[in-house]
Amino acid sequence: MTSESMITDEARALIGQESEAVLGEVTLQDIQRYALTIGDDNPLYFDEEYAKATPYRGIIAPPNYLTAVISWGNGVPEDELTADGLGRRRDGEYAFPIKAQRRMAGGQELEFHQPVRAGDLITRKSRTTGMEQREGKSGPFVLVYSEQRFFNQRNELLVTCHQTAIMR
């Protein structure tokens, strides 16, 4: 039996639309807290003299840092969070117009064009590239595909990310 479509017309209309957001500045503390948390003591993230002698020519952020941050800025007030804590609620469902209550990261394909450094002011251009509904063992789910491109204050492309989100 095929389940009813979880993908709304409103969601389909998002495909291909690009949005742009200024995310904010990456600080040396952001970089080093991230490295410390993942247990990575690579001097590329801590020692400027060492980092200058690498092809990166200075301290950089761990490569998957930018695309691992879930909320830039302040995020969402607690009483507006969805039941799972992740999203902004709207009529009991995600603001993203898929008929689903739960969301998970499926994975990312990253291409690193330029390193991310302390002091970089990050802008992100995002667009939803597609979505498809599938039947899983525990019911239907939707895969939402998107592309994010991250730029610094000199409009240099830093990272391209193709991401899959699972909504069920």
Give the residue with the Cβ less far from another protein, 33 or 134.
Answer: 33
CA distance 48 to 29: 14
Per CB under 8 A, the list member of 22, 104, 121, 157 interacting with another protein is 104
Best CA proximity match to 120, nearest among 23, 44, 3? 23
Stretch near another protein under the rule CB under 8 A, chosen from 8-16, 84-92, 120-128, 142-150: 84-92
Per CB under 8 A, the list member of 5, 8, 108, 126 interacting with another protein is 108
Stretch near another protein under the rule CB under 8 A, chosen from 10-18, 74-82, 128-136, 143-151: 74-82
Binding map of another protein across residues 42-71, x = CB under 8 A, - = no contact: xxx-xxxxx--xxxx-----xxx--xxxxx
Best CA proximity match to 142, nearest among 114, 87, 104, 93? 104
> Smallest gap, in angstroms, from Cβ of residue 81 to another protein?
6
Q: Is 137 in the site for another protein (CB under 8 A)?
A: no
Binding map of another protein across residues 26-45, x = CB under 8 A, - = no contact: ----x-xxxxxxxxxxxxx-
Write the CB contacts of 38 (distance below 8 Å, at least 6 apart in sequence).
62
- Helices and strands: H and E segment counts in the chain: 4, 7
Q: How far is CA 50 from CA 55, 64, 105, in A?
A: 11, 21, 34
Interior angle at CA 65, CA 99 and CA 150, nearest 5: 75
> Smallest gap, in angstroms, from Cβ of residue 9 to another protein?
28
Instruction: Give all strands (DSSP E) within the chain, no chain letters.
Output: 18-25, 89-90, 93-94, 103-112, 121-136, 139-151, 157-167
Give the residue with the Cβ less far from another protein, 39 or 92.
Answer: 39
Residues in the site for another protein, rule: CB under 8 A? 30, 32-44, 46-50, 53-56, 62-64, 67-72, 75-76, 81, 83-86, 102, 104-112, 138, 164
